[in-house]
Structure 1
């Protein structure tokens, strides 16, 4: 496909011709009113006091009609299918953001309309592996969407997660990558393992008296979230939240979830922020977002004050001290606050969600559970042998189970949009003009039958070739699945901490299987789909998640019995 932009390129914004048309219609309406009011006052149906209101309403109505007509029938993206409402307003996206079902809606839209869907006036969702590569490739002609600017409404600067401009993102990424380098993480492993041990002990009522009985059930969404946040607090700030042992800070998870959900909702209606209307339309979300900013500031100030007292390496210490190799610049205090928020939100939430999903799907698929437990027990003879390293990496079925769980229930199920830059961009044989937001929904492509046969079935074997695993698939099928897999993103903006996340999850799951037998508490259905939740959430063996940019979920309720 030619890389040149088509000659029929048109502006995304409503052209002046349509604005002028609305003015002409308004003027005609005004002249009619004036003629009636001043030349035939005795028969006039309006009064002078209502004339101004009538004029304003007419102008507004004609203008809206012109905008809608242009966006529906004359817009350069008008040829792409999608919901009618979404063609002319982003309130369609706001509605699904508030419902928490954006990921499900993207899946349904692609099932109905095909691989290219228009879900907003200037927004396109695609559902192919080629689009995934071309949109998020390091050399693609796009940048992060203007949606991410909403972050600066609450924080003074952008973080690595929200920075739009490539050079600035590259600088921040180099610094954050240094903080998450393997040699840095190795020095923090002891603090990770300390939290993992506490977590495993907390799965039974009395860790000292390990009777061979089923213990009271644990809500794994809560416990995995507490573990992930405690680990992130320890390795980032050298300051543990102590969520596993105390209730004092457990509300942080709820605040983060609502705050981030509010951010993605408000990002689709930035005018409300400009007009200071967010506190009216999104009052609680706005309050929670400011709480996230306050929390990040408090943690940053505390850690800066402890700079001389903490000698061991942590992520924040590296971020504060490292100097970019190219620009020789260090992060400012405001940038450290923004990065702190990034680590609090992204670092803990996605890891906790992946742990929860893995446990959920294993316990809803007994054959997979039994096979994985056999792999763990045959690979390790001692509990303390289970930690990051070569021996754990050789547990291929464990890795496949985690990968499959994140395919079915990705931590970020919606779209990470990218804005097309000048002079436009070809994506999978489609040309999009500058200003278009394009992206791929993780949930939608992870359930695309072209890449994943039986897309709602938990099948770890789809990630293992038959040459290394009994019941595996061909090498070509593995490569096809890998081409459409993106729970951590792809390209230059993928998650810099994904290796850390995998190591944490593998260690936790392996230790639980080594120590305990597990089962869903009899009679409980928390986390499962049901007809009561609606036709889109009726699958019993699918972990139900609510898209708040990151995932919110409840359950499953799991009982543990010492082995």
Structure 2
């Protein structure tokens, strides 16, 4: 039986109809959309491909700054997506009460395990589920509680300093500091999370390609998050999965660690006092038996596994890089540290209130936020009217990129593109009242890199503890310089910020 042929004229008519629908959609998006008054690149108004391509290139942060300086405080970066640059709207969009829902940009970060799609505390769009699941552990992440991790951090800092001395200081070799900061950040995260290192510092390499695979995963997640539906075709399809799967790798690793630790507990093989995160979570089985099981513990641990090493290493690399580029700032920091007469590793109680150390770290975080993409939310029912009167209807994706707000001249001055830790100090002719108000605005803006509202990063206090202690220890112990002060690092923004090519000479101080 022969097949029924379709006349060519019908094919032509069908294609013409599809073409007409596409053209009609494009005209609507540009001229009749509720967002038509929001300016932006012409291509961005008709397709999300524009922002996916720019994100894939690795410098969407700079593109956003350029767009806002051209178009103003609201820029249309997609057919239904608006980027905001007004720091004053951070508390509105990322509110604690009646929070705006996360958009579907976070969905590609789901894990597909045995055919089931699993969200996590970072990417879930369900606020009630998030609040319910984070409540038992929220109290474990105050500064008072994270200080219990200081001995574990000290252990890793000591190992790091010893390794730098042996491999680079004593023999005069050039240190690829970007790699070694990554080794430290991942090992210290493992130590306070599980009570053991991954082994990067001991083996002096990327063990089992954990960092490489994680980076590849984020380089997938960043552009795909701009067109999240495409993840259903690539990584989440049931036939052949395409692309890296770092979240799945992290989940399987966490299940392994949890199982091994509980076996050690059952066999009474745990000696001495244990103060790592895993132990604290396991103990919650006793106080919250109806909720806490191994799956829940893994879900909690994923917050550290997914973000702990990458975000803190980005900030620490930025500190070392910008100090190497700013001899006067480095000299001022060293003077302060020498005056403090710090032991090694530097204790938190002696570094927490050092003003210039704090200024240097805040300025590096401002210049180079560890996360530098738009944190998308969805405009709630009733819509939202911008301060200038323009209206954003309900369902619009909207958000702020911390890289953009951290370059805001209204908050940081006309030299907002320059590294200057002094901006965080009181000026010689500045009143205390003016300084405190200016400092508050700067801190509120820069701290947005940790998120806002109920979805703020719980590990922010631990990150500050780890970073301050390491930077104080390194610059109390070593003189650290770029091989060539004119050398420029390489940089790729893939949700988390990755910096490369930081060859440094380390000498004993």
Instruction: With the length of structure 1 as denominator, give the TM-score of the two structures.
Output: 0.80
Q: Report how many aligned residue pairs link the two structures.
A: 493
Alpha-carbon distance, 1:475 to partner:
3.4
Distance 1:431 1:378 in 2: 55
Matched residue of 1:154: which SS?
Answer: strand
Given the superposition, is the C-alpha separation of residues 191 and 174 from structure 1 closer, same or farther in structure 2, using an over 3 Å criterion? same
Measured against aligned partners, the alpha-carbon deviations of 1:84-137 in whole angstroms (never above 9, x if no partner) come to 111121111210221111111111110111110110111111111111121112
Distance 2:342 2:464 in 1: 22
Alignment match of 1:414 (pick from 373, 386, 398): 373
Q: 1:321 touches 1:330 (CA, 8 Å); kept in 2?
A: no
Measured against aligned partners, the alpha-carbon deviations of 1:417-476 in whole angstroms (never above 9, x if no partner) come to 111222323443543222111111111111122222211211111112237999x98334
- Within 5 Å, give how 1:216-295 maps onto structure 2: 216-246=173-203, 247=205, 249=207, 251-276=209-234, 285-288=243-246, 290-295=248-253
- Within 5 Å, give how 1:476-515 maps onto structure 2: 476-485=437-446, 486-515=448-477
Q: Which residue number in structure 1 is paired with residue 392 of structure 2?
A: 432
- Comparing 104-113 with 294-303, greater Cα deviation is found at 294-303
Matched residue of 2:101: which SS?
Answer: strand
Distance 1:77 1:157 in 2: 33
Alignment match of 1:60 (pick from 9, 18, 26): 18
Alpha-carbon distance, 1:82 to partner:
0.6
Distance 1:324 1:438 in 2: 41
Tell whether 2:481 aligns with 1:559: no
Distance 1:468 1:166 in 2: 47
Distance 1:249 1:436 in 2: 42
Distance 2:278 2:127 in 1: 23
Alpha-carbon distance, 1:287 to partner:
4.6
Given the superposition, is the C-alpha separation of residues 482 and 188 from structure 1 closer, same or farther in structure 2, using an over 3 Å criterion? closer
Given the superposition, is the C-alpha separation of residues 227 and 473 from structure 1 closer, same or farther in structure 2, using an over 3 Å criterion? farther
Distance 1:369 1:283 in 2: 48
Measured against aligned partners, the alpha-carbon deviations of 1:283-309 in whole angstroms (never above 9, x if no partner) come to 764355544444444444444444434
Measured against aligned partners, the alpha-carbon deviations of 1:144-173 in whole angstroms (never above 9, x if no partner) come to 112222223536432221121222222233
Distance 2:157 2:121 in 1: 28
Larger radius of gyration: 1
- Within 5 Å, give how 1:364-379 maps onto structure 2: 364-379=325-340
Q: 1:420 touches 1:436 (CA, 8 Å); kept in 2?
A: yes
Q: 2:216 touches 2:244 (CA, 8 Å); kept in 1?
A: no
Matched residue of 1:545: which SS?
Answer: strand
Q: 1:88 touches 1:121 (CA, 8 Å); kept in 2?
A: yes
Alignment match of 2:86 (pick from 128, 135, 139): 128
Distance 1:64 1:206 in 2: 60
Distance 2:71 2:328 in 1: 36
Distance 2:214 2:77 in 1: 27
Q: Which residue number in structure 1 is paired with residue 159 of structure 2?
A: 198
Alpha-carbon distance, 1:53 to partner:
3.0
Measured against aligned partners, the alpha-carbon deviations of 1:2-38 in whole angstroms (never above 9, x if no partner) come to xxxxxxxxxxxxxxxxxxxxxxxxxxxxxxxxxxxxx
Q: Which residue number in structure 1 is paired with residue 73 of structure 2?
A: 115
Given the superposition, is the C-alpha separation of residues 279 and 102 from structure 1 closer, same or farther in structure 2, using an over 3 Å criterion? farther
Tell whether 2:494 aligns with 1:548: yes
Distance 1:194 1:141 in 2: 39
Q: Which residue number in structure 2 is paired with residue 27 of structure 1?
A: none
- Within 5 Å, give how 1:62-461 maps onto structure 2: 62-154=20-112, 156-205=117-166, 215-246=172-203, 247=205, 249=207, 251-276=209-234, 285-288=243-246, 290-308=248-266, 309-310=269-270, 312-322=274-284, 329-384=290-345, 386-389=346-349, 391-428=350-387, 429-453=389-413, 454-461=415-422
Alpha-carbon RMSD: 3.0
Matched residue of 1:244: which SS?
Answer: helix
Given the superposition, is the C-alpha separation of residues 191 and 482 from structure 1 closer, same or farther in structure 2, using an over 3 Å criterion? closer
Alpha-carbon distance, 1:278 to partner:
7.0
Matched residue of 1:125: which SS?
Answer: strand
Q: 1:154 touches 1:289 (CA, 8 Å); kept in 2?
A: no
